[in-house]
Amino acid sequence: MNLSKTNTSTRTSEDSSTLMAKVMMLLSGSLIISAIGSYMGQGITSGWVLFFLVIVLFAGIFGVAAMAARSAALGVAGLAIWTFLNGMVMGPALNMYVQVLGGGVVTMSFLGTAAIMAALGGYGALSGRDFSAMGRWLLLGLVGLIIVGVIGIFIGMGHTFNLLYAIGGMVIFAGYFIFDFWRIANSENSDYNAVMYTMQVYLDFCNFLLSLLRFLTEVLGKR
């Protein structure tokens, strides 16, 4: 979902570096807020509560976009609320992975995801290559991943299914690290763009992390 504004004709290198700095600062704060939400939401057991929160999060994307369009302060406030709720939704899954894999493995997975994001994001932003064509393929892959995931809910997910699904998720969101950071480097510096790109990179990060944890669970045989 692309609600940010890319404008390669008017941006400057100063614009790119300033926008990147804003996104990184907001992303750091968002991950901290999300961690608090995950801690508070780890005890949620009702599927209906989680389903309701997912609907709120989806609608919240447009809400945050509208708030960011009005003012920077509203956009940042909306982003904080949205990432907190997203953390609550992730809480039960992260708690399960801590119980299954151990807190040390989950922590190392978080740090590993950060390192992979930095490496791939840096490549996307600094390589000078045009990654615009990746967008449509990544979107197709993401839609396919969602469809397969929904089907898996009804038919069940065995070891091989889970393993391939996790690998597919890591590949797709690794691609999004490259693509989204390339877009940041080629976008005009604005508070609106900073908030919206932060949401996108935050989602890339969280989904890669969850895919990595699923992969490790299957590889280590801890199910």
Q: Are the CB atoms for 90 and 206 separated by under 8 Å?
A: yes
- Taking the CA atoms of residue 18, residue 32, residue 142 and residue 43 in that order, the dihedral angle to the nearest 10 degrees is -170
Mean pLDDT of the region 123-134: 93
Q: Where are the domains of the chain?
A: 13-219
Q: Give the integer Cα–Cα distance in Å for 87 and 85.
A: 5
Distance CA 11, CA 200 (A): 20
Q: Render pLDDT for 28-76 as a digit per residue (tens, 0 to 9).
A: 999 999 999 999 999 888 888 888 898 999 999 999 999 999 999 999 9
> How far is Cα 72 from Cα 153, in angstroms, rounded to an integer?
39
Can you tell me the distance from the alpha carbon of 176 to that of 182, in angstroms, rounded to the nearest whole number?
Answer: 9
Higher pLDDT, 113 or 149: 113
> What confidence score (pLDDT) does residue 197 get?
97
Q: Residue ranges of the alpha helices (H) in the chain?
A: 13-41, 47-70, 72-101, 103-126, 134-155, 159-185, 191-219
User: CB of 169 within 8 A of CB of 145?
Assistant: yes
pTM: 0.89
- Alpha-carbon gap, residue 172 to 137, rounded angstroms: 9
